Structure 1
Amino acid sequence: MESLSKGICFRLGSEQYLHPLSTVKEVLSYQESAPVPGSGAGVEGMIEVRGNMVTVLYGSYLLDLDPEECKEEGHIIVLDLPSGYFGIRVEGVEKVMDLPDSQTTQTLEYKESEFVQGTMQRDDELYILVDFSDYCKTLS
């Protein structure tokens, strides 16, 4: 029997997303970040979490969603990457689920994004599989 990897399910706008759990350090309730002068679009700012500086990014910006549809971005998913700590601001974190193997992942036709790796149908719900790790490496 093959071992399944896990993903963290989060919500932004009307969509549900799954990000690999292997890079997730923790999930925080939203806290205001300090602005970073000269930072790129999509960067909200920096927060300190247990002595580590975390760059906070807007999930709505990364996924090209209308910020008006994502008003309640109330959680930050902190990613622990070789290039540092990055926080992705999302509306809500719902659960941890098994990620599908590549044979059961469907490609996504309706949305172009460098983060989207496919979709998964489970219990009559559509989940969009995303991974922000490579993008965050480019910011460090």
Structure 2
Amino acid sequence: MEQTTEKGICFRLGEERYVHPLSNIKEVLSYQSPAPVPGAREGVEGMIDVRGHMVTVLYGTYLLNLDPAECEEEGHIIVLDLPSGYFGIRVESVERVMDLPEKNDIQGLEYREHSCIKGTLQHANELYILVEFDQYCSTLD
């Protein structure tokens, strides 16, 4: 019996590289300016229509507590398909898809606490921060 390897999508914000599991990623879009949403909570950039589905677009820098001034222009939107709806995470660039290691090969992250950050992993001599935005997005109304 063949073992299935989970895959993740690698993206960059500022000097850091991140990876998010592919399991609930619907697609990756080139950046398009969202329509603002009056009264939206902090971190929400707006809404876009993706093939008839309304997608709430969130700033990746806000989600990960990064200084937007340290990031170049965020150029892609990673669209998540969650039970609570469609959410887009605005990131600087999307680099590739890679295999994720077994859970026991993921290291804890001691220098930065955040509910979206699950740990770190080494791949091809690069450090990646493993993130999962599902839980955060499901708390938005």
TM-score range, shorter chain: over 0.9
Aligned residue number for residue 61 of structure 1? 62
The amino acid that maps onto 1:130 is V
Give the C-alpha shift of residue 71 in structure 1: 2.9
Q: 2:53 aligns to what?
A: 52
Corresponding residue of 1:106: 107
Correspondence 1:132 to 2:122? no
Per the alignment, residue 119 of structure 1 pairs with 120
The one-letter code of the counterpart of 2:130 is L
Q: Distance in 1 between matches of 2:124 and 2:31?
A: 29
Q: Please list every run of 5 or more consecutive structure 2 residues that lacks an aligned counterpart in the other structure.
A: none
Q: 1:35-46 counterparts in 2 under 5 A?
A: 35-46=36-47
The whole-number CA distance in structure 2 between the counterparts of 1:13 and 1:96 is 19
Alpha-carbon distance, 1:9 to partner: 0.3
The Cα offsets for residues 23-66 of structure 1, whole Å up to 9 and x where unpaired, read as 10000000001111111010000000101000000000000000
Which amino acid in the other structure matches residue 6 of structure 1? K
1:62-108 deviation digits (Å, cap 9, x = unpaired): 00000001231000000000110000000000000011111100001
Aligned residues: 140
**What TM-score, normalized to structure 2?**
0.97
Q: CA RMSD in A?
A: 0.8
CA distance in 1, matches of 2:69, 2:25: 26
Deviation, structure 1 residue 2 = 2.9
1:15 aligns with: 16
Distance 1:71 1:37 in 2: 26
Runs of 4+ with deviation above 6 angstroms: none
* Superposed displacement of residue 6, structure 1: 0.5
TM-score, normalised relative to structure 1: 0.97
- Report the counterpart of residue 97 of structure 1 in structure 2: 98
**Which deviates the most, 93-102 or 1-10?**
1-10
Unaligned runs of 5+ in 1: none
Give the AA of the match of 1:135.
Answer: Y
CA distance in 2, matches of 1:115, 1:36: 24
Q: Which residue is 2:6 aligned to?
A: 5
Aligned partner letter, 1:126: L
